[in-house]
Structure 1
Amino acid sequence: MRRRETPRGSLERSLMILSRIVSDQAEHNVTALAGELGLPVPTVHRIVAGLAHSGFLSRVARGRYGVGFALRALATEACSTSSLAVLVRPELDDLARRTRRIAHFGIFEGDMVTYLVKAGSNGDRLFTREGMQLEAYCSGIGKILLADLDAADLDRYLSAGPFIALTDTTQTDPGVLRDELERVRQDGFAMDDRSVAPDLTCFAVPVRWPDGRARGAISVSTLAPDTIPHVDGLIARMRKSALAIEHRVFGQAGPRRP
């Protein structure tokens, strides 16, 4: 007698197949996919047909399927700024509490940094607010996001100056900025050393999307006369928070780029 598949077992198989097809980008057909996942071919055919009927998958060739309209719509909604803010906030609150500093989460929009979440019991000490935008070239989060741009996009950004000095330490030379962004890319973190405000120092690390791109970043800010925390320990703590955000938002950590 054929054992009846439990709802949990069916769901797990469906999610496993859906996840593999999305990451596979229609590279393998259903038969090859079944072999790769260790599932019976008829089972994979049945699940794929159901997902296609629901719009989560779309047939792109004989036996091959890609992302469907329903899944694209769901992903768009899940990554909307309001949804991101809700998902990120608990982890950012935890980071602010652990570091006893003000923490931010921001994304790159229109060549500017948009702050989606601000956390910290002493947040009123800092002029930033949720929803505001700040120049990318001088902020910690902005440097993280700029450092991860494709070469053509970075060239376009750096050629679109002039860049305005907000303080005596703001770097505005495109060539020097390019070198700094390369260091940020190699180090995996950025520092804003009083380049936005004379009493403000920030550290930032990337939050990576499933494609490996840093489309978001988190920062921790220190205001004078507070002492700057031990950098290595702070960055390690921030990276843990970034990974936790990736797991909360996407269900997995984004791949680290070399």
Structure 2
Amino acid sequence: MMEMNMLAGSRSSLDKSLSLLVQVLEGARDCRSLPALAEAEELPLSTAYRLMASLERAGLVAQLGPNRYMAGATLRRLAGFPLSPSRILAEIGRPILTDLSRRTGRITHLGVLDENMTTYLVKEGDRAGRAISGPDMQLEAYCSGIGKALLAHLSTEELDTYLATAPLVALTPRTIISAEALREELASIRQRGYAIDHEEMFEGFICIAVPIQLRGHVVAAISLVVTQNAEPYRPTRYLSRLLVAAAQIEKRLYSVRDVFLP
């Protein structure tokens, strides 16, 4: 009798786990929050958390942020789910950059390199609309903090191709337009680990940016607007906070690294 009760309890837990998994699958295009999943299945939050932890260990779900889940690597491989790296980056990066903007009072961005342009995926902390950048907007890479942080990690062949085909136009008096000068700047960025846009894209705006890496592969970059309108500035003052934010994003990305790594 005891064995039958234990088996029934096991089946009950399995049923609950499968129901939670179905909820994640039905919301495959969106990340589902744990409270929403628990509410849908009328489960205590603690029970839902325990069951989701088991599903995560099996690779059936992946946790992208505090209490936010989506289909995991094993499930995506079995089901052939298409998954957008840009959407994952935005989902993971947005709350982290929101917190960074709140703590610093500065504008923050997350972006990727797409067809030799900086494509912005996230922008936080700019309610007044001071910066022209925005989600899904593309701007030149050679004169932005995020762009330079990404260009600095191209292979030699990729960088040669970029410098040979991309015209370098001066957007401000400080824009680097010499291919050799930019090559030297990118080498310095790669060595020191961060990039600075010193009013090279917009006059009055100075940014510091760092790359987002997965097992040595740079997949994105984040930046913080240090100053605008000629306020006093010290870019590296914010470097440690930016690096902490980058590390938080990298940690979250690790659970879905199969989407980004070859």
Question: What TM-score, normalized by structure 2, do the two folds share?
Answer: 0.67
Q: 2:87 corresponds to which residue?
A: 82
The equivalences for 1:33-72 within 5 A come to 56=74, 69-70=77-78
Give distance in 2, aligned partners of 1:186 and 1:218. Answer: 17
1:160 and 2:165 aligned: yes
Q: Give the one of 184, 192, 196 matched to 1:187.
A: 192
Q: 1:212 corresponds to which residue?
A: 216
| SS of equivalent residue, structure 2 residue 83 | helix
Q: How many residue pairs get matched?
A: 201
Q: Give the one of 124, 129, 132 matched to 1:127.
A: 132
CA deviation after TM superposition for structure 1 residue 14, in Å? 4.1
CA deviation after TM superposition for structure 1 residue 10, in Å? 7.1
Deviations 1:189-232 (A, max 9, x none): 00000110111111000111x3421120000112113332x433
Contact 2:208 2:236 in 1 (8 A): no
- Tell me the amino acid that sits aligned with residue 111 of structure 2: G
Deviations 1:77-125 (A, max 9, x none): 152x233212211001011111111100000101000001000044511
Q: 1:223 corresponds to which residue?
A: 228
Give distance in 2, aligned partners of 1:142 and 1:105. Answer: 10
Tell me the percent identity.
Answer: 38
Q: 1:34 corresponds to which residue?
A: none
State the Cα RMSD in Å.
3.1
Give distance in 1, aligned partners of 2:84 and 2:151. Answer: 24
Deviations 1:63-90 (A, max 9, x none): xxxxx9438x45x5152x2332122110
In structure 2, the CA distance between the partners of 1:122 and 1:200, relative to structure 1 (3 Å rule), is same
Give distance in 2, aligned partners of 1:231 and 1:200. Answer: 11
CA deviation after TM superposition for structure 1 residue 175, in Å? 0.8
Give distance in 2, aligned partners of 1:169 and 1:217. Answer: 22
Give distance in 2, aligned partners of 1:56 and 1:12. Answer: 10
Give distance in 2, aligned partners of 1:104 and 1:136. Answer: 14
Give distance in 1, aligned partners of 2:56 and 2:114. Answer: 36
CA deviation after TM superposition for structure 1 residue 249, in Å? 2.8
Give distance in 1, aligned partners of 2:256 and 2:128. Answer: 30
- Tell me the amino acid that sits aligned with residue 199 of structure 2: R
CA deviation after TM superposition for structure 1 residue 127, in Å? 1.3
Contact 1:140 1:219 in 2 (8 A): yes
What runs of 5+ residues in structure 2 fail to find an aligned partner? 1-6, 15-50, 60-72, 258-262
What runs of 5+ residues in structure 1 fail to find an aligned partner? 16-54, 58-67, 254-258
Q: 1:240 corresponds to which residue?
A: 244
Contact 1:102 1:122 in 2 (8 A): no
Contact 2:194 2:210 in 1 (8 A): yes
Give distance in 2, aligned partners of 1:123 and 1:241. Answer: 23
- Tell me the amino acid that sits aligned with residue 219 of structure 1: S
1:202 and 2:207 aligned: yes
1:92 and 2:100 aligned: no
| SS of equivalent residue, structure 1 residue 124 | coil
- Tell me the amino acid that sits aligned with residue 83 of structure 2: E
Contact 2:92 2:253 in 1 (8 A): yes
Give distance in 2, aligned partners of 1:243 and 1:252. Answer: 15
Contact 1:102 1:123 in 2 (8 A): no
